[in-house]
Amino acid sequence: MGKGKNEGKDGGSSRGSKLRSFFTRLFSGIVLVALSLFLVTQSGLPFFLATFLISLCGTYELYRVFGIENKSLGFVGYLTVSVYYFMVYFGLEEYFVLMVILSLMSLMAFYVFTYPAYKISLVAKAFMCVVYAGVMMSYLYQTRTLPDGQFLVWLIFLSSWGSDTCAYCVGMVFGRHKMTPILSPKKTVEGAVGGVVGAALLGFAYAFLLRHHFKAISNPGLISAVACGIASLISMVGDLAASGIKRDYGVKDYGTLIPGHGGIMDRFDSVVFTAPAVYFVLRFLH
């Protein structure tokens, strides 16, 4: 009898924990969406600073996984991301290659003059994170600065979070063939196709509804559909890449900044890839 009572208590505690986790995740998601709505509607400095802070937090989370968040290599990375954003804000992108070279030279200098404190693999990881969470994330802000950017920037989220939702729904119903059975067993080829098609349809519907607000794009529905479809396909790489890093290092979440969701890189793992994808597709098509 005592054992049955304990099992009942454990079952109730487990259900209560799951409910708390669900509502925490739901509330955090609502707050995140509301904050995104507010920030994306802002132009200029507020949105720039928000994107900059997201990049710095993402870089820190990745460095923490690699164990260099408080080391010299990490501080070189933070400085490089900061300088890069300064260049973006003041329109100095033509010096980007110079910045990349100086960043790599600085990291290699720390490697040489502190040898054998750091392995060359850590230098490579430090440099990778600068491009990954720093440079790639910046295209969220750069898309916002394009003509009609106040509308086009939403394509990044539609092709990321919208694609995830569509892929999940289609995969649940029609999923049969595993896409990456070891890295992410739940993801299916059918879900991936559903995510790409769903993102393209969302992009088209969104642009069609707001077609009278676009001033610089002559065919916003078609362009938005193509941009979202391509970005959705690329976003899957971002999602799986972030999962692969966590699996390699035995990490469940990148951080705890967003209750119920993890860290910045847990929530923006696919946005990191969709932001530059949407930006360059729009530039090319426009």
Q: Which residue has the tokens 């290659």?
A: 97
Q: What pLDDT shows up at residue 8?
A: 53
Contact 278, 156 (CB under 8 A): yes
28 against 153, higher pLDDT: 153
Q: What pLDDT shows up at residue 230?
A: 94
Within 130-194, strands assigned E span 178-180, 184-188
Q: What pLDDT shows up at residue 1?
A: 46
Residue from 113, 130, 158 nearest 63 by CA: 130
Q: Is the pLDDT of residue 206 over 50?
A: yes
Please tell me the distance from the alpha carbon of residue 133 to that of residue 139, in angstroms, as a whole number: 11
Residue from 50, 208, 70 nearest 140 by CA: 50
Cα dihedral 172, 175, 179, 181 in deg (nearest 10): 70
- For 116, half-sphere exposure in the C-beta direction (CA atoms, 13 angstrom radius) is 0
Report pLDDT digits (tens) over 134-192.
Answer: 999 999 999 999 999 889 999 998 898 888 888 888 888 887 888 888 888 788 888 88
Report pLDDT digits (tens) over 271-285.
Answer: 999 999 999 999 988
